[in-house]
Structure 1
């Protein structure tokens, strides 16, 4: 059942956070991107305050050919799938508070990187020359297994200020996002503007990520 549809031109600073209850394994958000998710490069940035319950899906983009066309998970590591290929970045943070993540990938160089709270990690190689396929489904909080017709690796906790760009953001832009300064809007997913359907008990709560 469709619980809530967000189609809002609200300022990012006043838009609420999404809360995924740990006891509700059915909760997820269906995203209707602003343009096709056919990517030769991207940056995904978000604030999260996750419950410690293992690997949890933040964003999942699946197509008819690939359940893992673009997937980002958090937990003891940040996991990244592009075109079905996987790599991980260790997460040393043990804090229960909010963390700011930015994941970047560029097909031309075949490199991916994680920025945590505005600090860059060590770049890794992934899928040089690949272009992600358009026409898929974008979800927040769940990964889709089309073969089994199920959802898995649910996110539990708070998610806020998520943006997806079809380019690699510069270091100054990423640091500004982590410091809650200038907020460049994602051109594929723009927090507070992109239509999203909240399903299975996802709640809107005041956003305290930048407080």
Structure 2
């Protein structure tokens, strides 16, 4: 298991994670910068996927619930909050680098997806809910806490993963998609700074997402 994040260069210079398709056990364990008791969040990331099926980008599970907070990509972007699910259909499939942001706010139940800086149709999910703290946070796999196994693995490249405990502005999301705000860093996951451990053959490679 390889650790990264504590002595790395700024997030704009940090390499991408490559998840090999041939290794179903590959994932990245994350030590969040704050607890995961969230009343809102924004998750942004760049990916270049090698598989068109449903793949897990981020999964947070607790002993009580596997799908406390899960984001998947495929023919649609799936979002689980507190075990409830919505999905956002994608307008096209691409094997190129794409920028995603997914946001949710408890006070309204509003959930949104931005793809390359453009927002889609708003969904409603888990109004009034607060996610539970004390769980396990990973990238690239969905973990079944009760069975101790991982599934729905991501294959391809993943970069600039950031998680905020609030809904960031449309302007900031557009700027991130245009690679103009490298100083924007999540308070839960800050790319290139949050301690992470690579397992199952995940490797660091040069990051062309913002070139």
Deviation (angstroms), 1:37: 0.7
Query: Are 1:73 and 2:78 an aligned pair?
Result: no
Query: In structure 2, what is the equivalent of residue 209 of structure 1?
Result: 209
Give, in whole Å, the separation in 1 of the partners of 2:45 and 2:3: 21
Q: Structure 2 regions of 5+ residues with no counterpart?
A: none
Query: In structure 1, what is the equivalent of residue 44 of structure 2?
Result: 45
Query: In structure 1, what is the equivalent of residue 164 of structure 2?
Result: 165
Q: Provide the aligned length of Structure 1 versus Structure 2.
A: 210
Query: In structure 1, what is the equivalent of residue 199 of structure 2?
Result: 199
Q: For residues 1-211 of structure 1, what are the structure 2 equivalents within 5 Å?
A: 2-183=1-182, 184-211=184-211
Give, in whole Å, the separation in 2 of the partners of 1:32 and 1:110: 27
CA contact (8 A) 2:42 2:102 kept: yes
Runs of at least 4 residues off by over 6 Å: none
When normalised by structure 2's length, the TM-score is 0.97
When normalised by structure 1's length, the TM-score is 0.97
1:100-154 Cα offsets, whole Å, 9 max, x none, are 0000000000110000000000110000000000001100000011232211000
CA contact (8 A) 1:8 1:194 kept: no
Aligned Cα root-mean-square deviation (Å): 0.9
CA contact (8 A) 1:80 1:88 kept: yes
Give, in whole Å, the separation in 2 of the partners of 1:26 and 1:12: 26
